Amino acid sequence: MHNSNMIAAFYGKDETAGQRDGAIIPASYDTVETEYWRIRKGVALTDYSHYGKFKFEGDGALEFINSISFADALRIPINRMMPSYILKEDGSVFCEAMIGNYGDAYFVLTEGVEPEKILDLLREEIEKRALATRITDQTQTQALIGIDGPYAWELLKSFMGSSIIGTRYLEIIRGEHLDGMLFDLYRAGKTGEYGYVLKVESELALDFWKKLLDLGQDFDLRPAGYQALDLCRMENRFANMHYEAGSANNILELNTRVMVSRDKGDYIGRAAVEEKLENGIERRLIGLVLENDDDGALTPIQSGTGVYCDGDKIGEIANSGFSFSLKRSIALAFLDVDFAYAGLDYRLEDGKGERGARTVSAPFIFNQSLRIRPQEDSYFNAT
Amino acid sequence: MKPDLREKIEQRKDVLSSIKEELIDRLQLEYSVDDIDDDTFLFGGGLSLDSIDAMDIIIGLQSRFGVLLPDGEIASMRTINTLADFVQAES
């Protein structure tokens, strides 16, 4: 168990505490619904202390990262990030990896596995490949704090200035200060709303967190735990290692075909990916919305529930939740590729009962952030 | 698979394939139809298109399917699948 997290300690270990990738972080601070609407309508603060954080330097850094990354890190411009995965040899997912190009170094944020296990893998691979790269594990020394919501940009604007408005998705802003505390900013949220991740020295994390809460008072800023974030993430179809991504047999089942680079050289799991590119995958992830679901919030669907068509099993549920925006239960299921198309009606059966569900296009919802024009809109005149 | 379900799926596949072909041709994407999953996002991640491309998508849908995606109808312009939803609803 690692826990460099002063933020979790600040809130204490109560019934809302959860565990992610070996770290203790709050599952929720309030009701999930309250936190959900903060993310969907206002601004919320998030503790990402469970992420692994690794810095790669040296002439062989890019080549090494490409030898462990599913997506091609060569495509990342300086001061930009790229979502990727580290695979297992069988083509399933070992962990998520958000790769950042700092020009003179690469920075990789990981989720889904304890950082210690990722470090073991990195050391093993670096020894095997004998590349000139140096890895620094910053998991304990750096903290990550998320700011998500349609008005997240406005809170940041209050201390970073108007330039934050022009920050593009997956862009990195380096060397910013808040009350003398140095931080880097990544525009890399996973809720579908404006989302930013701020990287700060761990020893400053609690002061930084408190300062943000102080600055955010006028925005009704409150923290949100990982349960509300997971729900937002599913609604916007960002793959989640703790659910569907962790149960994929092959990365291509997660609709990741455009991430494949067939000429980037060898990487972990490549043979399994190439085999599926040649012969096709058997199942694919697709969204489902339940029908006649007035009491959906009370009767959640369990992962592993079977999906049936005319009595034949065609797949199973990999993630589910209650969408407060849709007022319906939603789910992600791996379906036989012949059946994995939007607009089709199937049945869910789990031994206790049967429910109807319709396959739907990604994403599940329309995000308020898409309607926001930062030059004109404000949290303070939102209706 | 029952014939009516098969027909519905075949119709969907035809629309999805046509949309992908149109986007690849019009936006000169370095992908083949098989490279693009139906739930691939158009902007941000996924195909990483931009606002200029959005105009070309509107023109492409009108040209190929005879449907007009109204200005500001961004809910339909999220993924290949949401474009297909729009085309099938309007055709």
* Least confident piece of the model among A24-33, A91-100, A338-347: A24-33
Q: Torsion over CA of A346, A348, A354 and A358, rounded to 10 degrees?
A: -40
Residues of B in contact with A362 (CB under 8 A): 39, 41, 78-79, 81-82
ipTM score for this prediction: 0.96
Q: pTM for the whole thing? A: 0.95
Q: What is the CATH number of the domain that holds B70?
A: 1.10.1200.10
Identity at A6, one-letter amino acid code: M
Nearest Cβ partner for B12 among A284, A310, A343: A343
Whether the CB of A255 is below 8 Å from some CB of chain B: the reply is yes
Domain A52-137 fold is Alpha-Beta Plaits (3.30.70)
Which residue is closest to B49 within chain A, CA to CA? A169
Q: What is the CATH number of domain A282-365?
A: 2.40.30.110
At A254-301, the pLDDT tens digits run 999 999 999 999 999 999 999 999 999 999 999 999 986 666 555 778
- The pLDDT assigned to A2 comes to 44
Q: Does A343 touch chain B (CB under 8 A)?
A: yes
**Which residues of chain B are within 8 Å of residue A338 when distances are taken between CB atoms?**
1, 9
CB contact under 8 A, A362 and B44: no
B38 contacts on A by Cβ (under 8 Å): 255, 341-342, 361
For B20, the domain range is 3-90
- Closest B-chain CA to A194: B44
Q: What is the pLDDT of residue A208?
A: 97
- Nearest residue in chain A measured CA to CA from B14: A341
Tell me, what amino acid is at A15?
A: E
Whether residue A36 is predicted with pLDDT greater than 70 in this model: the reply is yes
pLDDT at residue A12, rounded to an integer: 67
What six digits make up the tokens of A48?
């990402």
**Is the model's pLDDT at B79 over the cut of 50?**
yes
Partner-chain residue, chosen from A255, A344, A366, that has the shortest CB–CB distance to B8: A344
Q: Using the structure block, give the residue that is written with the tokens 């023109």.
A: B59
> How much is the average pLDDT of A222-226?
94
Query: Does A284 reach chain B within 8 Å, measured CB to CB?
Result: yes
Mean predicted lDDT score pLDDT of chain A: 93
Residues 6+ apart with CB under 8 A from B83: B19, B42, B57, B61, B76, B77
What CATH number is given for A6-51+140-232 in this structure?
Answer: 3.30.1360.120
Q: CA–CA separation, A226 vs A45, rounded Å?
A: 11
pLDDT at B31 over 50: yes
The proportion of chain B whose per-residue pLDDT surpasses 90, expressed as a percent, equals 87
**In chain B, residues 72-91 whose CB comes closer than 8 Å to chain A:** 74-75, 78-79, 81-82, 84-85, 88
Interface check B17 vs A, CB under 8 A? no
Tokens coding B61: 């849908």
Query: Is the Cβ of A192 closer than 8 Å to some Cβ of chain B?
Result: no
- pLDDT at site A331: 97
Q: Output B70 or A175, whichever has higher pLDDT.
A: A175
| A339 close to B (CB below 8 A) | yes
Average pLDDT over residues A181-189: 97
Residue B28 in 3-state DSSP?
coil
Q: CATH 2.40.30.110: which residues of chain A?
A: 282-365
Torsion of CA A272, B38, A233, A231, to 10 degrees: -110
Q: What is the DSSP letter of B75?
A: G
Q: In chain B, whose CA is at the least distance from the CA of A342? A: B81
Say whether B84 and A361 touch across the interface (CB within 8 A). Answer: yes
| 3-state secondary structure at position B70 | coil
Q: Pick the closest to residue B42 from B79, B11, B14, B15 (CA basis).
A: B79
The pLDDT value recorded for residue A1 is 41
CA of A340: which chain B residue's CA is closest? B9
Q: State mean pLDDT over A344-363.
A: 92
Number of domains in chain B: 1
